[in-house]
């Protein structure tokens, strides 16, 4: 293709994106289309509908529930140096609200996230990309619920590049891939994104909002409505949050699973891995919350 033709294609793609709603649900095919790539570049995220079937979602949820019961039984509080968020869920029963390294404890999840349908997502991230089952926090499952003993009913504004900011470096593009395991209409809270903020500079990425403390809706935020089985991709530099459900009990439950696609050096964790200091802070905050509840 000539340079002029490529240039023209770019102009047409941009014009098409101007007309697309911010909550467009795309279809995940065998490749990421130029429109999808351009939408991601412009806004910093993509929403794909119906990536996992109802049966697959049910199976993953069953696996997560099994891991949760086993860990409750074992009184496990930490995996590879990463604390599990432990709260009290429905009927005031112990609940694991953030399960790290899930794919190390479930062959089904481990194989599922390596399925052919995710190849275009993996290739979008880069050629030399691997799934880090035992790196960073592994494949994390978040379960939000709004009950008095919950330590995780919502998540304040943040970017996922905070760790880099501590080292005074601008995070490189990192794409976070989330599989949604429950239906979540806007009326049940859920994921909120601030489009285009992945293009902001270092200063705004540090100070645009108060990390994790600020929960206030932003007039420019986009509400991501998901059905169980949808997949989202968001740029790690984008500001986002999880809005608390206005419902309580079972109606407020929302579950998401984030698959770690990594490109940096292989750094597996193990039982004696040190707890990163920000996890110490979080663990303290959750303890205080539960203590106040008791």
Ligand X SMILES: O=C(O)CCC(=O)C(=O)O
Q: Which residues bind ligand X (CB under 6 A)?
A: 142, 155, 160, 178, 191, 240, 242, 256
The residue of the chain with the least Cβ separation from Fe ion equals 160
Question: What are 53-59's contacts with CB under 8 Å, separation 24+?
Answer: 53/229, 54/228, 54/229, 56/112, 56/229, 57/181, 57/228, 57/229, 59/108
Judged by CB, which is closer to ligand X: 13, or 143? 143
Instruction: Look at residue 188 and give the partner it binds from ligand X, Fe ion, none, a contact being a CB closer than 5 to 8 Å depending on partner kind.
Output: none
225 forms part of the interface with Fe ion (CB under 5 A)? no
Instruction: Look at residue 245 and give the partner it binds from Fe ion, ligand X, none, a contact being a CB closer than 5 to 8 Å depending on partner kind.
Output: none
Instruction: Look at residue 142 and give the partner it binds from ligand X, Fe ion, none, a contact being a CB closer than 5 to 8 Å depending on partner kind.
Output: ligand X
Q: Which residues, other chains included, contact 184 with Cβ-Cβ below 8 Å and sequence gap of 6+? A: 190, 191, 225, 226, 227, 254
Judged by CB, which is closer to Fe ion: 117, or 154? 154
Instruction: Look at residue 36 and give the partner it binds from Fe ion, ligand X, none, a contact being a CB closer than 5 to 8 Å depending on partner kind.
Output: none
Exactly one of 160, 164, 225, 230 binds Fe ion (CB under 5 A); which one? Answer: 160
Distance CA 5, CA 9 (A): 6
Whether 179 contacts 52, CB under 8 Å: yes
Judged by CB, which is closer to Fe ion: 158, or 269? 158
Q: What is the per-residue binding string for Fe ion in 105-144, x denoting contact by CB under 5 A?
A: ----------------------------------------
* Least distance CB 155 / ligand X (angstroms): 6
Instruction: Look at residue 191 and give the partner it binds from ligand X, Fe ion, none, a contact being a CB closer than 5 to 8 Å depending on partner kind.
Output: ligand X
Q: Can you state the percent helix, strand and coil of the chain, rounding each to 5?
A: 35, 20, 45
The string of DSSP letters for 136-199 reads: TT-SEEEEE--STT-S-S-EEEE-TTHHHHHTT-PPPP-EEEEEE-S-B-GGG-EEEE-TTGGG
164 forms part of the interface with Fe ion (CB under 5 A)? no
68 forms part of the interface with Fe ion (CB under 5 A)? no
Nearest of 143, 144, 148, 76 to residue 105 by alpha carbon: 76
* Least distance CB 225 / ligand X (angstroms): 12
């Amino acid at each position: 293709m000539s340079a002029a033709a490529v240039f023209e294609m770019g102009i047409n793609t941009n014009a098409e994106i101007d007309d697309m709603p911010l909550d467009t649900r795309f279809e995940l095919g065998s490749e990421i289309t130029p429109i999808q790539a351009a939408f991601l570049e412009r806004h910093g995220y993509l929403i794909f509908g119906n990536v996992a079937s109802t049966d697959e979602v049910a199976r993953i949820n069953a696996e997560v529930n099994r891991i949760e019961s086993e860990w409750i039984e074992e009184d496990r509080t930490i995996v590879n140096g990463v604390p599990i968020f432990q709260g009290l869920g429905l009927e005031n029963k112990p609940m694991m609200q953030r399960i790290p390294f899930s794919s190390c404890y479930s062959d089904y999840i481990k194989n599922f996230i390596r399925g052919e349908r995710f190849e275009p997502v993996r290739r979008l991230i880069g050629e030399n990309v691997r799934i880090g089952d035992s790196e960073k926090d592994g494949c994390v499952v978040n379960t939000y619920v709004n009950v008095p003993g919950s330590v995780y009913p919502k998540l304040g504004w943040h970017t996922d590049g905070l760790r880099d900011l501590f080292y005074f470096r601008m995070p490189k593009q990192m794409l976070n891939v989330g599989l949604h395991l429950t239906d979540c209409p806007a009326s049940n809270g859920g994921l909120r994104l601030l489009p285009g903020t992945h293009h902001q500079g270092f200063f705004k990425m540090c100070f645009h909002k108060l990390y994790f403390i600020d929960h206030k809706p932003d007039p420019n935020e986009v509400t991501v409505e998901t059905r169980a089985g949808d997949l989202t991709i968001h740029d790690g530099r984008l500001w986002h949050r999880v809005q608390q459900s206005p419902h309580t009990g079972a109606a407020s439950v929302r579950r998401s699973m984030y698959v770690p696609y990594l490109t940096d050096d292989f750094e597996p964790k193990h039982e004696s891995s040190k707890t990163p200091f920000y996890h110490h802070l979080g663990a303290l905050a959750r303890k205080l919350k539960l203590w106040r509840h008791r």
